[in-house]
Amino acid sequence: MKNITLSPRMVITAVLLSLGLIIAAVPKNTTKPYKLTAAQILDEIKSGTQYLEPEQVAQMLVEKDPYLQLIDIRPQNEFEKFSLPGAISIPVDNLLSPDQAEVFDQDVRLNVFYGNGTTQANEAWMLLRQLGYKNIYVLRGGLNYWAEAILNPTAPPSTSPNDDLARYDFRMGASQALGGGALSSSETQTKTQAPAKVPGPKPTGKKKKVAGGCS
């Protein structure tokens, strides 16, 4: 079977079609006026600024950063089986429920969507960004990549660049601190061994301190 390469135009068309389907599925009585156009959303998608890397999220979890709010958009039964430490459950179908308005309509916490992969989290991000909500992000790769990158990292060759070796050292430290091999349990939040600082900047846009941890 031949590999199919999508052209940039095909990718953009697929993104806009996905956004259109999301909008069409929103009940009229829960729809807020849109504040961003499809073109503006597309610009953000092309820049990739909606993503937070697993290492960034892992560092915030280890440090119990109060600004972090992980949002699991999978069905409730999947959330109950396992989730990331401190995450709250808001399935995709409930994103526009009036009960969730306070979660998104604030500038204090960084709301980070995640699912098993990235597709549904990106759809949630697109919808809420078009409604004008800020501090909305997506965990790159979702739980599948989290398990691979953070919980069970693979050692790079010893001849790898220093950045790759430093990233692996961080991932190993994060895995130990977050209970590598299990996505969520009461024990994962009692580990005390912290990893070295993650390469790269942490998210910005924080306004003020908030009480409590990352739950």
Residue 19 forms part of a structural domain: no
Whether 167 and 120 map to the same domain: the answer is no
Whether 84 and 124 map to the same domain: the answer is yes
Question: Tokens 């039964």 — which residue?
Answer: 77
Whether 101 and 182 map to the same domain: the answer is no
Question: pLDDT tens across 52-87, in order?
Answer: 999 999 999 999 999 999 999 999 999 999 999 999
Q: What is the pLDDT of residue 10?
A: 55
Structural domain total, the chain: 2
Domain that holds residue 180: 146-189
The β-bridge partners of 136 are 111
CATH code for the domain in which residue 73 is found: 3.40.250.10
Residue 79 forms part of a structural domain: yes
pTM value surpassing 0.75: no
Residue 61 forms part of a structural domain: yes
Whether 59 and 131 map to the same domain: the answer is yes
Whether 112 and 60 map to the same domain: the answer is yes
Q: What is the pLDDT of residue 33?
A: 65
Whether 115 and 178 map to the same domain: the answer is no
User: 107, 142, 177 — which closes off a domain?
Assistant: 142
Whether 51 and 119 map to the same domain: the answer is yes
Whether 110 and 176 map to the same domain: the answer is no
Q: What is the pLDDT of residue 49?
A: 85
**Would you state the torsion angle of the CA atoms of residues 87, 134, 52, 67, taken in this order, to the nearest 10 degrees?**
-50
DSSP-assigned states of every residue in 12-49: HHHHHHHHHHHHHHS-GGGPPPP-S-HHHHHHHHHHTT
Residue 4 forms part of a structural domain: no
CA-CA distances (angstroms) from residue 55 to 118, 139, 185? 16, 10, 20
Q: What is the pLDDT of residue 48?
A: 83
Cβ atoms of 78 and 115 closer than 8 Å:
no
DSSP-assigned states of every residue in the chain: -PPPPPPHHHHHHHHHHHHHHHHHHS-GGGPPPP-S-HHHHHHHHHHTTTEE-HHHHHHHHHTT-TTEEEEE-S-HHHHHH---TT-EE--GGGTT-GGGHHHHS-SSSEEEEE-SSSHHHHHHHHHHHHTT--SEEEETTHHHHHIIIIISPPPPPTTS-HHHHHHHHHHHHHHHHTTTT-S--GGGGS--PPPPPPSSPPP----S--SS---
Q: What is the pLDDT of residue 21?
A: 53
Residue 28 forms part of a structural domain: no
Per-residue pLDDT of the chain (215 residues; tens, 9 = 90+): 444 554 555 545 555 555 555 555 444 434 566 777 778 888 888 888 899 999 999 999 999 999 999 999 999 999 999 999 999 999 999 998 888 888 888 878 899 999 999 999 999 998 898 888 888 999 999 999 999 999 889 999 989 999 999 999 998 988 888 876 544 433 333 333 444 454 433 444 444 444 444 54
Whether 101 and 177 map to the same domain: the answer is no
Whether 150 and 80 map to the same domain: the answer is no
Q: What is the pLDDT of residue 100?
A: 87
Whether 45 and 120 map to the same domain: the answer is yes
Nearest-angstrom CA–CA distance, 48 and 141 = 13
Whether 137 and 39 map to the same domain: the answer is yes
